[in-house]
Amino acid sequence: GENVEQHPSTLSVQEGDSAVIKCTYSDSASNYFPWYKQELGKGPQLIIDIRSNVGEKKDQRIAVTLNKTAKHFSLHITETQPEDSAVYFCAARYGQNFVFGPGTRLSVLP
């Protein structure tokens, strides 16, 4: 079945630095890739997404890139701030449902 891998599992960066989280997926038919941010005590919240007909999408300090050939997609956060600290999940659409990666715990150190 569909599988999504996500790396790293934990990531610590200094405030102001950039953070990159990478995911790979197995089903070449997947065509939609959302990223979710989960803060303590809350459910995952969509922060950015990308469709398979686009290679890159940017929204202020966050960007996502997609390499369909390699079946890789990445989340880039620039100028990190303490409030960016959270668990981030990537996901790939598989049929009518989604398969999620295991999550990355990002810590932004002041």
Task: Tell which one of 103, 104, 106, 108 touches another protein (CB under 8 A).
Answer: 103
Distance CA 101, CA 95 (A): 16
- Residue 20: count of CB within 10 angstroms of its CB: 16
Residues 37-96 that bind another protein (CB under 8 A): 41-46, 49, 51, 89, 91, 93, 95-96
98 touching another protein, by CB under 8 A: yes
Q: In what order do the strands lie in the sheet with 4-7?
A: 4-7, 19-25, 72-77, 62-67, 56-59
101 touching another protein, by CB under 8 A: yes
Position of tokens 């990355």?
Answer: 104
Number of residues that bind another protein (CB under 8 A): 25
Q: Interface with another protein by CB under 8 A: which residues?
A: 4, 31-32, 34, 36, 41-46, 49, 51, 89, 91, 93, 95-103
